[in-house]
Amino acid sequence: MKAPPTRKKRKIPRSATPAMWKMASGLLWVLAFLQFGSYFNQDVVLGERYKEMGLLWRIFHLHMLSFVTRMKYYGAWSLTDGACTLSGIGYKGLDPKTGKPNWDRLINIRPMGVEFAQNSHAYLGNWNMNTNHWLRNYMYLRVTPKGKKPGFRASMATFVTSAFWHGFYPGYYLTFVLASFIQNVAKNSRRLLRPFFLTPNGKPLPRKRYYDLATWLITQLTFSFCTAPFILPSIHDSLLVWSRVYFYCPVGVALCSLFLASPGKAWLTKKAKAHAGAKPQLGRSDSTESLRGTTLGVPSEPGREFDEMVDEIMVEVKKRRGSRAGPEGVELRRRVEATLQEKTGGVGKEL
């Protein structure tokens, strides 16, 4: 694959054009925030007029308050991403599919990924991405016992840590603790319901479009409710706004949690397995259900990451040894894998 033209002794391609595009998108988000912020803000949902609106209008205003608040973050992070791109530190190498330069090394937000997310995994995975990477690597995975999959306790510990990192406003803890319950319910509900909208070989049925629409709407309205205390960090204001929409999110989460703890879960699981027949091997799509690259710090292609690490080690070894011969890349990989298998009891084979 031929690299794009660069100046003499320049190690990365020219970055002015992609940086300007990111700057333009950031400025558009900032302008949108300034425009809509006067219509959807804290004063509206805390005012007396808000109580006189119908329930659907109140939910709509709460959602728009969350959306407009996100606009300023979209703007700020897009501008900083553009600055990183312009300086060159945002260069991630060539895209293996298109062969074009990839400038997403330090990207922190994917606005469309958040706004069109159909589940909590996609919503959270596209928001504050670099912080999510750190939380997954140093909290979510570390508090999980060896040999077990992360569960509710790992999610709760991660969200509480995130709340503590943000500060000591009580609203932060309301948001992140509720989010841990939401993520647990969403993950289990998706496993139980999604198979009914797929064929046994994993292909979407015609009715899956309604499932996608419903999950998108539920995801957006759920997180609009959940993040309200983050915008209104005091306990009084947060509970006041929640009460004005009748606590629809905690009520829904509680009902779903009760169902998941009841015999109904086993019954629905049996129905889902009967519908699917043999367990299908589902492929990943480019929709909002699956995220590109890493999700909360885990690489999508660990084998390729390992090969790149071996190549870097080889370069460093040759520099240190000078002209002395050393093992080639394939041989070095074989030796490393053999060592990993001895120390981890075969886990290294997965690489």
| 316-329 pLDDT, tens digit each | 666 666 655 555 55
Residue 91 near residue 103 (C-beta atoms within 8 A): yes
pLDDT at 160 (0 to 100): 82
At 116 the pLDDT is 96
Q: What is the mean pLDDT of residues 319-343?
A: 60
pLDDT of residue 336: 62
Does residue 20 surpass a pLDDT of 60?
yes
Question: Mean pLDDT across the chain, nearest whole number?
Answer: 82
Q: What is the pLDDT of residue 6?
A: 56
Are 205 and 263 within 8 A, CB to CB?
A: no
Q: What is the pLDDT of residue 141?
A: 82
User: Which is nearest to 233 in space by CA: 276, 306, 174, 291?
Assistant: 174
166 among known catalytic residues: yes
Q: What is the DSSP letter of 93?
A: E
Q: How many Å apart are CA 169 and CA 297, to the nearest integer?
A: 27
What is the spatial distance between Cα 285 and Cα 292, in angstroms, rounded to a whole number? 10
Q: Which of 193, 253, 198 is nearest to 226 (CA)?
A: 253
Task: Return d(Cα 184, Cα 195) in angstroms, integer.
Answer: 18
Q: What is the pLDDT of residue 36?
A: 96
- Calpha distance 165→5 (Å, rounded): 43
Cα–Cα distance, 106 to 316 (Å, whole number): 25
User: In the predicted model, what is the mean pLDDT of residues 296-300?
Assistant: 40
User: Tokens 């905690």 identify what position?
Assistant: 250
The pLDDT of residue 344:
47
* Identity of the residue numbered 322: G
- Residue 339 pLDDT: 62
Q: What is the DSSP letter of 4?
A: P
User: Taking 90 as the threshold, does the pLDDT of residue 303 lie above it?
Assistant: no
pTM, whole model, 2 decimals?
Answer: 0.72
Residue 288 DSSP one-character state: T
Average pLDDT score over residue span 107-136? 92
Which of helix, strand or coil describes residue 94? strand
CA distance 310 to 131: 27
Residue 283's pLDDT is 44
What integer pLDDT is reported at residue 40 of this predicted model?
95
Q: What digits encode the pLDDT tens for the residues 235-288?
A: 999 999 999 999 999 999 999 999 999 999 999 999 888 887 745 444 444 444
Question: Are 162 and 131 within 8 A, CB to CB?
Answer: yes
- More confident: 57 or 161: 57
pLDDT (0 to 100) of residue 288: 42
Q: Encode pLDDT of 190-249 as tens digits.
A: 999 999 999 888 899 999 999 999 999 999 999 999 999 989 988 999 999 999 999 999
Residues across the chain? 351
121, 166, 236, 275: the active-site residue: 166
What percent of the chain has pLDDT above 70?
76
Write down the pLDDT at residue 63.
Answer: 97
Cα 152 to Cα 180: distance, rounded to the nearest angstrom: 7
Nearest to 152 by CA among 172, 126, 182, 175: 182
Residue-wise pLDDT for 141-197, tens only, equals: 888 877 777 777 787 788 888 888 888 888 888 998 899 899 889 989 999 999 999
> Given this model, what pLDDT does residue 318 score?
67
pLDDT of residue 337: 64
Q: Which pLDDT value is given to residue 221?
A: 97
Helix (H) and strand (E) counts for the chain? Answer: 16, 2
Smallest Cα–Cα separation from 228: which of 178, 190, 268, 262?
178
